């Protein structure tokens, strides 16, 4: 496309130059005509560029959705993921996540640049839907107290768009957990316990904590501001996975869907194994943390 723009501009420029070189017979009309050639060429090039950008906007999501649907069909067989094939396609694969009855059936990657997978698919081709990715500050092995996964949330529900639905308490009742598949064959449950909006700054989504008390305080703050009440127990020794997307109405806020990792055991663990009762946990006062450090997360 860019080569076409350059070709058009060059032709317009050559036309103008030809007029200018006709010194003996050059007239004012010739000069005006040459200038018009240049202007016309620039207008055509601009129009074509605009059409290309429009096409990327209109069809980028459709192409990306089709790609991930095909990838899930090829890589997911019943309740297993073909990580051997995924690693051959992209060695930065870390996990696979799925949420029943939604488009969330996706690979999770990690690289050193938190901006790369905002605009690149799993096969590293440029696409507006990007790929869900783990924060570069995490280990990538889900051994941190809080592993943060970013991704685009699309209003159609594509990619991580279904996470917005957790602001509806009824949705949480129908979708209390996600599935996390690891490359070594383990399958963990992610028990959702909060959905809250926070400011888009790093301190609001910490990866590590100075003490157990700080960790517990964050969990209590998230519960207090959550869109629904959950009876999932979270202890100081637990590890979390937090999904971070833009809020449904845009702006500087981020929507967090917070989950407790439940590792596989000899017998399958269900959501009922980690709840106390149906009484909502007591609310605690949120103490905001002051910082100006930007949070690297998707903006659309």
Find how far residue 266's CA is from the centre of its chain.
33
- Whole-number Å distance between alpha carbons of 160 and 131: 10
- Please, what's the b/e burial string for 195-207 (b: 16 or more CB within 10 A of its CB; e: otherwise)? bbbbbbbbebbbb
Contact residues for 240 (Cβ-Cβ < 8 A; gap 6+): 145, 146, 147, 219, 234, 258, 259, 260, 261
Q: Which residues contact 14 (CB under 8 A, 6 or more apart)?
A: none
With H, G, I as helix, E, B as strand and everything else as coil, classify residue 250. coil
Residue 103, pLDDT score: 94
Q: Which residues of the chain have pLDDT under 70?
A: 1-26, 28-60, 265-300
What pLDDT sits at residue 183?
A: 92
What's the Cα-to-Cα distance from 230 to each of 193, 219, 220, 247, rounded to whole Å? Answer: 5, 12, 11, 21
pLDDT, position 64: 83
The ranges assigned to domains in the chain are 2-71, 81-274
Give the pLDDT of residue 282: 36
Give tens-digit pLDDT for 139-148: 999 999 999 9
CATH number of 81-274: 2.40.260.10
State residue 28's pLDDT score: 66
Query: What does the pLDDT read at residue 265?
Result: 55
Q: What pLDDT is recorded for position 291?
A: 30
222 and 197 in contact (C-beta within 8 Å)? Answer: no
């Amino acid at each position: 496309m860019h080569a076409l723009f350059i070709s058009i501009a060059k032709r317009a420029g050559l036309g103008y130059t030809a007029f200018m070189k006709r010194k003996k017979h050059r007239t004012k009309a010739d000069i005006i005509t040459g200038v018009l050639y240049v202007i016309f060429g620039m207008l055509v090039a601009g129009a074509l560029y605009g059409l290309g950008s429009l096409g990327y906007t209109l069809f980028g999501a459709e192409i990306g959705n089709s790609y991930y649907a095909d990838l899930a069909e090829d890589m997911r067989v019943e309740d297993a993921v073909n990580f051997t094939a995924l690693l051959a396609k992209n060695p930065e694969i870390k996990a696979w996540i799925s949420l029943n009855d939604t488009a969330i059936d996706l690979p999770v990657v990690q690289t050193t640049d938190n901006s790369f997978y905002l605009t690149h698919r799993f096969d590293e081709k440029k696409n507006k839907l990007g790929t869900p990715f783990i924060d570069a500050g995490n280990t990538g092995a889900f051994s941190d107290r809080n592993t943060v996964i970013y991704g685009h949330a699309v209003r159609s529900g594509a990619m991580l768009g279904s996470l917005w639905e957790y602001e509806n308490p009824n949705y949480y009742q129908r979708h209390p957990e996600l599935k996390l598949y690891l490359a070594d064959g383990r399958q963990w449950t992610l028990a959702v316990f909060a959905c809250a909006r926070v400011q888009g700054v790093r301190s609001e989504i910490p990866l590590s904590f100075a003490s157990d008390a700080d960790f517990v305080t964050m969990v209590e703050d998230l519960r207090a501001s959550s869109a629904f009440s959950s009876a999932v127990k979270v202890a100081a020794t637990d590890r979390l996975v937090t999904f971070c997307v833009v809020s449904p109405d845009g702006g500087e806020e981020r929507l967090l869907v917070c989950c407790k990792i439940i590792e596989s055991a000899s017998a399958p663990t269900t959501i009922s194994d980690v709840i106390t009762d149906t009484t909502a946990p007591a609310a605690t006062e949120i103490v905001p943390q002051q910082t100006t450090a930007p949070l690297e997360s998707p903006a659309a």
